[in-house]
Structure 1
Amino acid sequence: MDRALRRRSASSAAPTAAPRAFAAAVAVGARLALALDEATAEPAQAQAPAAAAERPAAAPQAAPQLTMPSPLGPTEPPYPPGGVGDGTVVLRITVHADGTVSVVEAEGEEPFVSAAVGAAPSWRFEPARRDGRPINARILFRVAFHAPPPVAPVAPAAPDEPPAAATVLAPPGARAAPAPPSRPAPPEPIDVVVVGERAAPMTTSMTREEVRQMPGAFGDPFRAIEALPGVTPIASGVPYFFVRGAPPGNVGYFVDGVRVPLLYHVALGPSVIHPALVERVDLYPGGFPARFGRYIGGVIGGETREPARLFHGEGNIRLFDAGALVEAPWADGRGTALVGGRYAYPGALLSLFSPGVELGYWDYQARATYDLSPYDRVGLFAFGSHDYLARIEDDGETDVVLAGDFHRLDLRYDRFFARGGRLRHAVTLGYEESSNQDGERAGRTRLFGTRTELSAPVSERLTVRAGADAQLERYDIDIRENDGDFPSRNDRALARLFTSREDLSAGLWADVVVRAAPALEVVPGLRGDLFSSEGATDATVDPRLATRLQATPSVALLSAFGMTHQPPSFLGAVPGLQIGGLRGGTQTGLLASAGVELRLPEGFRATVTAFRSGFFNLSDALGNRPPGTDVGLAQRAELRATGSTHGLEIYAHRSLSKRLGGFVSYTLSRSVRHVGRESFDSAFDRRHVLNAAAAVDLGRGWKLGGRAVFYSGIPMTLDYDLWGGDGNGQRPDNDDEDRPDTEEDIRRREQLREQIARYVRRLSLPERLPAFFRLDLRLEKRWVLREGRLVSLTVEVLNATAGKETLQYECSILRGCEPEELGPIVIPSLGVEASF
């Protein structure tokens, strides 16, 4: 939750020797804005030991180790031409986790302001750290200019003279990190104002810096989501999952508050956003903040990095794709421009391992910002992606499995408040498209959306957040088959579900972060939504409540409760294709969880969480599959179920960016469905899901890591291939296989399926499919070059153990029932990455 704590403390900062009587940049006032980079990070409280005794005792608080940013080189802009006399400029700068600097605002007179703003992006800092992990920090930095005296210039400082160092400001009870030996502690006091942001209770966040060390994630923050507790994969390596029992169609994806249809490229591909643009990824598995709505399951939100007033970039090339991102300032640093993207070329690999498959994907990102004033910014963020997956048949024809695009254009205006907080107005334009098996367009969506978001700290104990959003979507759907076949039951269900139409959704929301006591935080919230589709409307109200109680400095008690609503949903991963109408009413979710968070020695953290989720009017095409049946996806999507999931999550971790780090993530759960009078486990109910990873710094730029993944099997799932080979219900010796199916053919095929189903029910098949295990490996060599340039070589393997996963049993008249296995899918990656 938003957290603003203001404290004054005494520390010190010293200037370096000023060459030629130019201005010495002296840090005499600093305001540190700690950006969230851990899921349960405590708000920082900077306080010097001498001042601590003068304050009344506070309730027990967790005590993370905090260190201030410190310059790694001179921070002394030259005296500007046209300057008269002495001058002072106060900069608010953001020191990023990689040590680069961007200017947020500046106060002073010209030409000194321009000189300071122009020089700041070239500075390099040792970043602020929380518990040893680099984090973003926003500080006030005063630059003093002194007019050159009418005498010979002062000799420059010795080359080996160290720059000034910022002193570590530790919260009460924390050990202050020792200053580097080459940077003596400066003597002058500074006043510190600390403003931090804390995650919502029951939220897990992952930064790019930590994720890039995770084996099997290929350095992609969004791909790391599958390793978090509460997340159940559909299949190994496939980046679509159930979150606490909610299917993929009920999990929302957002980038900077912009809803997107999918986050990942097809066929185990990376995310659709270049990793260098991602600041962090948040997983809200339940009871999420009121600003998120219209999804009854979890929410995955990605936040992009703040604009940088420094020319920088990053590029990488791998065996199957390449990507790059570049950002540069303009208008004397008041504006920034960024472009990035990725392009895949897997043809060479596929020709060796899967010659009958065609695969391709690309994505792009472009962003431009301009600061109208120190408190006002306008921006434009455009991004999109393309995916194509096809199978080449024996006769040479191309069968398109998936082909789709989506694009977003977000125009935004931000107003920053002096006390912290922000007001954002944004307008979003969108376009989505998907193709059918023949490569022709099956669905197209055009989107217009608007949103307003406010976060305003009223006092140290109260922060108000509110907003409104609306989306109008026009769907043009054409899923008719052109083969002349008589429509099956599943075909008719598809036609009923997917229709051309206009959908409208609008919502209002508000919540309040109340710090009722130094150790207690309560966040009540309320959201209301209006849904309209095909002439039907529905209005919903969703209350939310989250709490955090810091029982001791190392123990916090957390809870979250929320009600959520969502229109009928399908698979959730097909651009331009979503179910229309409100038949059966909106889906409803009741999400509750409670847990304990522990701070352990040596930088370890652990959480233990119990949760329960209830779902009503649930449309789940994947999970609503009664055992022993073979019903099409569209028919299952028309089913409405009542569902529930309960379980226990355990998560213990030490940052992978440390010399020795790792994590253990374990989920024990059960997910049940009730359709009519029949009750059964969800088709993707996995009782046990375990992820364990470790990474060790071997020195000299080498880092080695491994990750083990284990999960138990899902309930027995059957697919009927009838005659065992062609899958179309025809006898193998039929001489007229190419003629269109008639109504009689469809009826005969359905009768055969019923016969096979009765036969299968008499077999002694196992109740669940086999468990699965895989091992991912990663080895990296990094070279640090001059001026902060980095080059790294990474060798990574997903599923190094070449494990196979059983997806279902396939039953036919001729062969009976046999397990259908996936794999082994082994993905090697050899890549080079460089940044400047």
Structure 2
Amino acid sequence: MPRPIWQVSLWLFLLLPHLGWSQSKHTLSGYVRDASTGETLIGANIWCPELKVGTATNTFGFYSLTLPSGTHAISISAVGFQAQVLDLVFDQDLTQVVELTPQTSTLDEVVVEGQLLATEMTQMSKRSIAVEQLKDLPSFMGEIDVIKTVQYLPGISRGSEGNNSLYVRGGSADQNLILLDGVPVYNANHVFGFLSVFNGDALQGIDLYTGGFPAQYGGRLSSVLDITMREGNQQELKGMVSVGLVASKAMLEGPIGEKTSFLVTARRTYFDVIASPIVKYVNKLENPEVDLKPRAFFTDFNGKINHRFSDRSRLYFSVYAGQDQLSNTSEATETDGDLGVDYISGGRDGLKWGNTTAALRWNYVFTPQLFANTSLTYSRYGFDVFFDEFTRYPEVDTIEDVFANQLYESFLEDISLRTDFDWSLNTQHRLKFGVNLTHQNFEPGAFSLTLSNGMDTTIGAPSQQGWRGFVYLEDEMRFGEKLSGRIGLHASTFITGEVNYPSLQPRASVRYQFHPDVTVKASYARMQQPLHMLVTSGVGLPIDQWVPATERIAPAVGWVTALGVTTQLPQQLTLSVEGYYKEMDGVLEYRDGFGFANSRIDWQDKVAVGSGTSYGMELLLQKPTGRFTGWAGYTLGWSWREFEELNYGERFPFRYDRRHTLVLALSGQIKENMKAGLAWTYATGEALTLP
């Protein structure tokens, strides 16, 4: 009986990596570190100019490069560090831990020869931002902000002024997978979107994907923002305290013995400390009998500890906890005319919201070519809206206190277990594969009322559980110097209640270098998103609710394809032009007349389900190294939505459809002790139709 086609295809796929092994080859592997701190470097380039092949360090600073026997010059470089060139004899497998020295000055332009250029990378629609560049750009009230910096990239819309949400290539704010050390962050905003939750002092790597998604990522339609925390200084104990205009922060890092290091950061704003006396003074002038106590602040904490069991085995534990609170407490002393005694009446109202994440990760080097990482992660986001009233008679023991406490609570939490493998077979094939299982618990919204007479009631949407699992496989292939590609499959399923939503999501990218300095790239990716966010407004309010796919509401699905040209210009400049087209189905919007306030109605009865289409062109001129760094970009885009229950079923522009957007972000070393930064954006206005 002939074998099924899928079995034959599988055998061919498994045999393909071995077709390039006609001569003896050996593997160079190891880690690239910062010589000043001992921390591993993400995205460092390992390049063989002679053979024009190379690789880059992964999230944990590990690399593996297989080359033919012989003597080869290997260049190791990273942005902001002095490059090294090693002459190595490949007569056996080699292990090399490389330490790069940070550049002490950028006043003189340094040109790094023999490095992996953008024209030689298969991946497209990816932008990496160096943390040092992040710190050099202008920031709101002196607070470094990852999200606001990302908003200066082409293809990204910031929405309304001050909004810290991301609208990527016509997608909605909930279609972005934001990861901190591999853990999803469901609300990245502090202070209603004016600041993000990411403390720049704790960050090491920032990668944004807007298309051509690697197979390891899933669960969102529009983008992936992958942020990695620092490991902590392994050379010496260091600390820092900073007092800014709106917040103070502190950091402590250092080694614990020879194999362990740690990093902790903390931050708190003092809006309430500054504004509270002013508010109380004004209130005393208008209502002298009322004692007002306003509070408005946020706090966040980052911690990370890592331990090296051996050169092959390492353990990492990282945690983030942050919370915002905006509340007002008032008390007033009045006289009861009937009883002739004083009583105190008052109340407390406000809202608070916050994220908690934790990640325990263990990675192990099985062979010089096979690297594995296993992660156990936890994430929780929730918000509370509260309104309490009370009346007390402190002078009369026989009269009990009267109170009425109202609370609206919503949260989402998940716990995940996943394992990822990175297998560098040879110079022609690099396999990545893994498996993930996630349990999610949704509390879409519950309103509770507690009274002093014993009444206690709760109404709202019921809690919902969900299981999401996926496996993925991806092969990064190289066919000579000019042609390379990546093909992968992300197979997932989401189970909730009695329904199961399976999904096969192919991913593909191809690169052809028809000139030493010019490359054409193309990509395709299909995605499924089994959770939605119900957006009440466009200003990043924490009352936007996360809800899962249900038996009535299916997951959102979409696909995006892109075609682009990348060219390497003189003066270390890179120019890329990309055109994209994206379709989305199963996107949600509140129906007319409904919103967050209708808490007694099931959210499934308040939403309309529709589709979206977006397309456009992005241009990016980038200079990643040198005395002056930064980028200039332009986006020409269209984004549409269509709902049967909205706008009479006619297609209409998405709220954040921006036809033209210009961005500029530059920073430079003026003198040895002086830097300057510039950030500017221009965007056409919001589409509006009047009767």
**What is the TM-score with the length of structure 2 in the denominator?**
0.72
The structural deviation recorded for 1:557 is 1.4
Counterpart AA for 1:387: D
Query: Residue 170 of structure 2: SS of its match in structure 1?
Result: coil
Aligned-residue RMSD, C-alpha: 4.1
The structural deviation recorded for 1:458 is 0.5
Higher Cα radius of gyration: 1
Q: Which residue of 1 aligns with 2:688?
A: 716
Query: Residue 190 of structure 2: SS of its match in structure 1?
Result: coil
Question: For the residues of structure 1 that align with 2:516 and 2:41, how far apart are their CA atoms?
Answer: 20
Q: Which residue of 2 aligns with 1:555?
A: 518
Cα distance, 1:475–1:199 mapped onto 2, change above 3 Å: same
The structural deviation recorded for 1:295 is 0.8
Which of these residues, 666, 669, 686, is aligned with residue 637 of structure 2? 669
What is the aligned residue count?
Answer: 559
Is 2:224 the partner of 1:299?
A: yes
Q: Which residue of 1 aligns with 2:248?
A: 322
Cα distance, 1:297–1:37 mapped onto 2, change above 3 Å: same
Question: For the residues of structure 2 that align with 1:663 and 1:353, how far apart are their CA atoms?
Answer: 42
Is 2:326 the partner of 1:389?
A: yes
Which of these residues, 329, 332, 352, is aligned with residue 403 of structure 1? 352
Is 2:532 the partner of 1:595?
A: no
Cα distance, 1:393–1:548 mapped onto 2, change above 3 Å: farther
Q: Which residue of 2 aligns with 1:542?
A: 505
Is 2:553 the partner of 1:584?
A: yes
Equivalent pair of 2:82/2:100 in contact (CA under 8 Å): no
1:488-507 matched pairs, under 5 angstroms: 495=460, 498-507=461-470
Equivalent pair of 1:568/1:582 in contact (CA under 8 Å): no
Cα distance, 1:547–1:586 mapped onto 2, change above 3 Å: same
Could you tell which deviates more after superposition, 570-579 or 404-413?
570-579
For 1:703-729, what per-residue CA distance to the aligned partner results, in whole angstroms no more than 9, with x for missing partners? 222222211111228xxxxxxxxxxxx
Which of these residues, 257, 260, 271, is aligned with residue 196 of structure 2? 271
Cα distance, 1:706–1:393 mapped onto 2, change above 3 Å: farther
Q: Which residue of 2 aligns with 1:246?
A: 171
The structural deviation recorded for 1:682 is 1.1
For 1:142-175, what per-residue CA distance to the aligned partner results, in whole angstroms no more than 9, with x for missing partners? xxxxxxxxxxxxxxxxxxxxxxxxxx8x32999x
For 1:15-36, what per-residue CA distance to the aligned partner results, in whole angstroms no more than 9, with x for missing partners? xxxxxxxxxxxxxx99785988
Which of these residues, 64, 68, 71, is aligned with residue 83 of structure 2? 68
Which of these residues, 470, 477, 480, is aligned with residue 517 of structure 1? 480
Which of these residues, 642, 650, 654, is aligned with residue 678 of structure 1? 650
Equivalent pair of 2:639/2:653 in contact (CA under 8 Å): yes
1:637-652 matched pairs, under 5 angstroms: 638-652=607-621
Is 2:379 the partner of 1:430?
A: yes
Query: Residue 211 of structure 1: SS of its match in structure 2?
Result: helix
**What is the TM-score with the length of structure 1 in the denominator?**
0.60
Question: For the residues of structure 2 that align with 1:463 and 1:128, how far apart are their CA atoms?
Answer: 35
Question: For the residues of structure 2 that align with 1:127 and 1:544, how far apart are their CA atoms?
Answer: 41
Q: Which residue of 2 aligns with 1:610?
A: 579
The structural deviation recorded for 1:255 is 1.5
Which of these residues, 685, 689, 697, is aligned with residue 661 of structure 2? 689
For 1:198-249, what per-residue CA distance to the aligned partner results, in whole angstroms no more than 9, with x for missing partners? 6832111101011111223643334311111111112123210211111011
For 1:374-410, what per-residue CA distance to the aligned partner results, in whole angstroms no more than 9, with x for missing partners? 101122112221122347899986542x411222221
Q: Which residue of 1 aligns with 2:296?
A: 359
Cα distance, 1:173–1:210 mapped onto 2, change above 3 Å: closer
Question: For the residues of structure 2 that align with 1:244 and 1:449, how far apart are their CA atoms?
Answer: 29
Equivalent pair of 1:43/1:198 in contact (CA under 8 Å): no
Q: Which residue of 2 aligns with 1:200?
A: 123
Q: Which residue of 1 aligns with 2:132?
A: 209
Q: Which residue of 1 aligns with 2:396?
A: none
Equivalent pair of 2:182/2:359 in contact (CA under 8 Å): no
Question: For the residues of structure 2 that align with 1:417 and 1:576, how far apart are their CA atoms?
Answer: 44
The structural deviation recorded for 1:534 is 3.1
The structural deviation recorded for 1:422 is 2.2
For 1:294-335, what per-residue CA distance to the aligned partner results, in whole angstroms no more than 9, with x for missing partners? 11121111122355422234443211112222222223x111
The structural deviation recorded for 1:507 is 0.7
Which of these residues, 570, 593, 608, is aligned with residue 533 of structure 2? 570
Q: Which residue of 2 aligns with 1:283?
A: 208
The structural deviation recorded for 1:251 is 1.2
Is 2:428 the partner of 1:461?
A: yes
Question: For the residues of structure 2 that align with 1:130 and 1:521, how far apart are their CA atoms?
Answer: 35
Greater strand content: 2
The structural deviation recorded for 1:678 is 1.8
Q: Which runs of 5+ in 2 are unaligned?
A: 1-27, 34-39, 53-68, 72-78, 86-93, 284-293, 333-345, 388-405, 452-458, 597-602
The structural deviation recorded for 1:428 is 1.6
Equivalent pair of 1:67/1:130 in contact (CA under 8 Å): no
Question: For the residues of structure 2 that align with 1:171 and 1:569, how far apart are their CA atoms?
Answer: 45
Cα distance, 1:307–1:376 mapped onto 2, change above 3 Å: farther
The structural deviation recorded for 1:358 is 4.2
Equivalent pair of 2:106/2:626 in contact (CA under 8 Å): no
Cα distance, 1:685–1:204 mapped onto 2, change above 3 Å: same
